[in-house]
Amino acid sequence: MLLKIVQAGDPVLRQPARPLQPEEILGAQIQALIELMRETMRDAPGVGLAAPQIGESLQLAVIEDLATFPETQREPVPFHVIINPKLTLRGAPVEFFEGCLSVDGYQAVVSRSEEVTVDALDHRGQPVTIDASGWYARILQHEIDHLNGTLYIDRMRRRTFSTSRNVATMWRGQPTADVVEKVGQDSDED
């Protein structure tokens, strides 16, 4: 069964999600939700899905990225779950196009830290520490933003906001800095 992915404008995407208690994590309801979220993320297709995106205000996200694109530091990331994550940003900011299953059909350039550390609970309620860089660090930041009521459109360079089709036809393969230069800098009046 696939879950409905809510779209921007739904209030659940704009509120901080509630933490899960350890006893909840092992319960049948959360374990079933994790499996449904995995199926929904894969079907979308996406590389991450946070519980608020399916209408559940819970500090829970699933992540999996099977793609490999060395030029974007994108390496495969096996399926895993993060619950009640705490994010520590490390490294320099890096700009790149980003999209979202809850802002369907659009992308924009977003600045994210190149490296992060995430302390969270896994699907068994066990503590995990994740040190990530590159694309994986971007995915983690994006999903944790969802758990805090933030969408990528809150962080984007507004002048780069574009349909996914236009990004694919006009900007694919171009350095992000060149795209930003061509569309111009954001200003307070944008």
Report the distance separating Cα 130 and Cα 120, nearest Å. Answer: 8
Question: Is 143 an annotated catalytic residue?
Answer: yes
User: Which of 48, 153, 148 shows the shortest CA–CA distance to 110?
Assistant: 153
User: Which of 158, 72, 63, 71 shows the shortest CA–CA distance to 101?
Assistant: 63
In angstroms, how far apart are the furthest CA atoms of the chain?
A: 52
CB–CB of 6/29 below 8 Å?
A: no
One-letter amino acid for residue 163 of the chain? T
CB–CB of 146/53 below 8 Å?
A: yes
Selected catalytic residue, list 23, 98, 143, 181: 143
Contacts of 28 (CB under 8 A, 6+ apart): none
Q: Which residues are catalytic?
A: 143
